Amino acid sequence: MLLLCCIVTTSILSQSIKPLPPLPSKEQLQWHEKEFYLFIHFGPNTFTDKEWGEGNEDPSLFNPTALDCEQWARIAKQSGAKGIILTAKHHDGFCLWPSNFSKHTVRESKWQNGKGDVVKALSDACKKIGIDMGVYISPWDRNHLLYGTPAYNDVYISTMKELLTNYGKYFELWWDGANGEGPNGKKQQYDFRRFEDSVLKWQPQLVVFSDIGPGIRWCGNENGTINSTNWNLLDTAGFKRGLGAPSTDTLNTGNVNGKNWIPAEADVSIRPGWFYHAKEDSKVKSPQTLFDLYLRSVGNGGNLLLNVPPDRSGRINAADSASLMGFRKLRDAAFATDVLKEAKLSTNTTSSQHLSSLTDHNIQTYWASSQKENTQIIITFPKKTKINTLVLEEMIRYGQRVSSFTIESFNRTGYQPVFTGTTIGRKKIARFNKQEAQKLRITIHTSKAAPVLRGISGYMVSELK
């Protein structure tokens, strides 16, 4: 009966909220909830110490001695990552599966006497361990003899069909915008319209990443950070992938009145390079650095794609694994205790009903303000409470709305501002100097429509050392 009442109440409430387009698709909403997942750069570059292969490498160089994709998947899951995206084909054109449309593949390598298939091994591992999988398929191919001719677009579509019809469902397809010369000295005119139509025909649920989506956009840098102002909206008319993309500033912040829901993904490597190099074993990013990147990506409403490259044995190095586990430990400790648990919420609006939905940690419940501007939510603690972080979340299935807000702490002289922000989006992790607060006040000054929030939580997060 309680569940039925909750469903009925939510249904009645949702009927009174007018969505603010553009809106995320069901698949994009699921993508938003992933927050953090791993990138795996693996291929001939692992064995040549290069970052961008030339395409003329001897396939026999690729010979991992102890490939263990289950280890990758276990480490990913233990770190809290929700999936793995594999570079199934990088710019050198080497395919990590035995493609029928290339002669530069694992089939031509010494590994497993040419009978191996990294894509299948990882697909099986992800299914067994219980995490999702995605694929990166570079359109640029520095090996294929047809690259630079119209026929190559057919080849590329055929390689994608192999990957998208033989290994199960993926959650994300990653398109790099790189477009250099092939072995004949020519560049390719990519037919991305055909590419897009084809992949969505084979896997309609795919969320496709590129400079201009259509599912997710690049954040404009490879530092793992997203601007504190981050609109999930982007205008794509007149732009192309690669050199014709929107400016990096635009990619990092989005467009306030963008016509398409294309949220930002922040990609960064745990090492200086994207592929494994033994000389970088001592340069793995620390757990503290990874946690800071999490705050500056997921904490600004986007997702974090962290590259963790396997070594020449085909396993994730112990240094990378240790840092990932430390990163998980920091996240768990930071958000273990919600200090708003005993707090009382009130508002200056006429919509005081359902305020408790903001602190129930239920992503399906929410609260809607009755006014577009100057919405206030007052948090009153039963006693003075130490706090330095508020996590705010919009119910983005109704659109992204909030454009400016402040957080204030009440002391003897009244309310004093401790944080000034712009967008909230799916999640805003607002950090400020430690307060011993009796009250906090959140004021949403401006919003494109009346704010709809699904969560507020508070924490006393230890300072990073």
pLDDT of the residue at 7: 42
Listed in order, strand segments (DSSP E) in 313-374 are 344-347, 367-368
DSSP state of 51: S
Residue 15 corresponds to which tokens in the numbers above? 């009927």
Catalogue all structural domains in the chain, each as residue range(s) with its CATH number: 26-334 (3.20.20.80), 337-459 (2.60.120.260)
pLDDT of the residue at 8: 39
Residue 343 corresponds to which tokens in the numbers above? 């707090």
Distance from chain centroid for Cα 38: 9
pLDDT of the residue at 131: 98
Cis bond upstream, residue 263 (ω within 30)? no
Distance CA 56, CA 67 (A): 23
Distance CA 62, CA 135 (A): 19
Segment 9-48, tens digit of pLDDT: 444 444 589 999 999 999 999 999 999 999 999 999 999 9
User: CB–CB of 178/91 below 8 Å?
Assistant: yes
Segment 224-257, tens digit of pLDDT: 999 999 999 999 999 999 999 999 999 999 999 9
Helix count and strand count (H, E) for the chain: 10, 17
In terms of DSSP bridges, do strands 132-137 and 83-89 run parallel, antiparallel, or are they unpaired? Answer: parallel
| Among 215, 185, 156, 184, CA closest to 24 | 215
pLDDT of the residue at 412: 81
Distance CA 395, CA 400 (A): 8
pLDDT of the residue at 465: 54
In terms of DSSP bridges, do strands 375-394 and 344-347 run parallel, antiparallel, or are they unpaired? Answer: antiparallel
3-state secondary structure of 42: coil
pLDDT of the residue at 464: 62
Q: Kindly state the helix (H) or strand (E) to which residue 459 belongs, with its residue range.
A: strand 452-459
User: CB–CB of 239/212 below 8 Å?
Assistant: yes
Question: CA–CA distance from 152 to each of 101, 144, 158, 164, 186 (Å)?
Answer: 10, 8, 10, 18, 12
Neighbouring C-beta atoms of residue 113, cutoff 10 Å? 8
Q: Kindly state the helix (H) or strand (E) to which residue 84 belongs, with its residue range.
A: strand 83-89
- In the chain, which residues have pLDDT < 70? 1-15, 464-465
pLDDT of the residue at 16: 82
Residue 189 corresponds to which tokens in the numbers above? 């005119």
